[in-house]
Amino acid sequence: MLLSALTVDAILNNALAGKDLSPEEGVVLLKQTDPEAIAAIRETADQLRLSQAGDTVTYIINRNINFTNICEQHCSFCAFRRDEGEDGAFWLNTAQILEKAEDAVRRGATEICMQGGLNLQAKLNNASLAYYLRIVKSIKEQFPHIHLHAFSPQEVQFIAREDNLSYAQVIAALRDAGVDSMPGTAAEVLDDEVRRILCPEKIDTATWLEIVETTHQLGVPTTSTMLSGHIETPEQQMQHLQKLRSLQQTALERQYPAKISEFILLPFVGQDAPKPLQRRVGRDQPILKDALLLTAVARIFLGRWIPNHQPSWVKLGLAGATEALTWGCNDIGGTLMEEHITTMAGAQGGTCMEVETLQDAIASLGRPYQQRDTLYRYLPTAEVVGIR
Q: Give pLDDT, residue 85.
A: 87
| Parallel, antiparallel or unpaired: strands 111-115 and 222-228 | unpaired
In one-letter notation, the amino acid at residue 327 is W
Per-residue pLDDT tens listing for the chain (388 residues): 444 446 999 999 999 999 999 999 999 999 999 999 999 999 999 999 999 999 999 999 999 999 999 999 887 777 778 988 899 899 999 999 999 999 999 999 999 999 999 999 999 999 999 999 999 999 999 999 999 999 999 999 999 999 999 999 999 999 999 999 999 999 999 999 999 988 899 999 999 999 999 999 999 999 999 999 989 999 999 999 999 999 999 999 999 999 999 999 999 875 555 556 555 554 556 789 999 999 999 999 999 999 999 999 999 999 999 999 999 999 999 998 874 444 444 444 456 789 999 999 999 999 999 999 999 999 986 443 333 3
Class of residue 39 by CB neighbours under 10 A (exposed 0-12, middle 13-18, buried 19+): exposed
- CATH fold of 21-26+38-365: TIM Barrel (3.20.20)
Under 8 Å between Cβ of 197 and 232? no
Considering only CA atoms, which of 319, 360, 366, 357 is closest in space to residue 336? 357
pLDDT at residue 138, rounded to an integer: 98
What is the side-by-side strand order in the sheet with 62-66? 62-66, 111-115, 147-150
Query: Between helices 234-253 and 288-302, what is the axis angle to 10°?
Result: 30
- Residues facing residue 82 across a β-bridge: 70
8 A C-beta contact, residue 365 and residue 49: no
In this predicted structure, what is the pLDDT of residue 75? Answer: 79
**pLDDT score of 337:** 82
- pTM more than 0.85: yes
Distance CA 231, CA 276 (A): 12
